[in-house]
Amino acid sequence: MVSVIICAGEALVDLVPHPVPGGGPMNAAIACARLGSPTAFLGRVSTDEFGQQIIEHLTASGVDLSLVQRGPEPTCRAEVVGDPPVFRFHGAGTADAAITDADLSVVPPGPHILHGGTLGMFREPGAEFFARIAAEHDGLVSLDPNARPQVVGDGKAAWDGWFERWLSHTDLLRCSDADLEWIRPGEAADDVVAEWLAGGVTAVIVTTADGASVTTAAGAASAPSQRVEVADTVGAGDSFVGSLLSDLHERDVRDTAALAAVALDTWAELLDRAGRVAAITVSRVGANPPWAHELGR
């Protein structure tokens, strides 16, 4: 590997109702790898039966495991109920949150793309490790907060602190309209996006049921949603982000300066393709991103 996409955070199983490997950063890693990009997953995976299922899933999708730790802690389980999905987490003392260090020297010098978010962003003690990695990273940093209010509970103040730590080092931010409303309740989306850009984020992407839009210093671009028959929406956002990261990596956009130079018409193309990837994912049960050949790539 020379330059890779490193997806850092949790790997777990979604019970839908049978166990299916999931977790926001792991799903993004699967999407990136299946679309043909060199991708490594950085996280801690249990040695239990579910953990082995996760390892096999990553391996079958072509994700590099050099940065994966194994541990005896149980695998986090998420019951997925309804659509839009409601998640019931069983995550006390699980492997995904137990990571506190890693040997990153096994990855050659970059610049690499680092992606994180979801549970790994705020579940301690792993959250401290992932925030430190983001702060020290010298390539492009991508963040998808993928808010889970039912897991955060009354700990939103602490969640906000972790989010702000990541945000101060983030180049590319993706959030849904629901995420944005939960993060900054009652505030106009345009005002929040403008504030994040002024604070140093290079590109902010907001996804809705109708499509996706990106805002940069150069202006805004958008693409409509793809219309498909939906099986469930689990992993849609992760697949969307995976497509973006894969396309950016393919175009040698791996640091802040290169991201700032992406033209708005190019962004429209990237958003459209990411929408196609997400549409395939939602057309089948579980977080099951498409392979490149399914998009004619």
Every domain of the chain and the residues it spans: 24-41+97-288
Q: What is the pLDDT of residue 297?
A: 54
Residues 37, 250: contact at Cβ < 8 Å? yes
Q: Look up the pTM and report it.
A: 0.95
Q: What is the maximum alpha-carbon separation in the chain?
A: 49
Give 19's strand partners: 15
Tell me which amino acid residue 89 is.
F
- Whole-angstrom CA distances from 155 to 27, 72, 98, 289 are 25, 27, 19, 31
CA 45, chain centre distance (Å)? 17
Q: Where are the beta strands (DSSP E) in 185-292?
A: 203-207, 211-216, 219-224
Cis preceding linkage at 19, omega within 30? no
Tens place of pLDDT per residue across the chain (297 aa): 478 999 999 999 988 778 899 999 999 999 999 999 999 999 999 999 999 999 999 999 999 999 999 999 999 998 877 767 677 788 999 999 999 999 888 888 889 999 999 999 999 999 999 999 999 999 999 999 999 998 999 999 999 999 999 999 999 999 999 999 999 999 999 999 999 999 999 999 999 999 999 999 999 999 999 888 887 777 899 999 999 999 999 999 999 999 999 999 999 999 999 999 999 998 887 788 999 999 875
The CATH number of domain 24-41+97-288, selected from 3.40.120.10, 2.60.40.10, 3.40.1190.20, 3.40.50.300: 3.40.1190.20
Which structure tokens are listed for 8? Answer: 């850092």
**Residue entry with tokens 């990553």:** 58
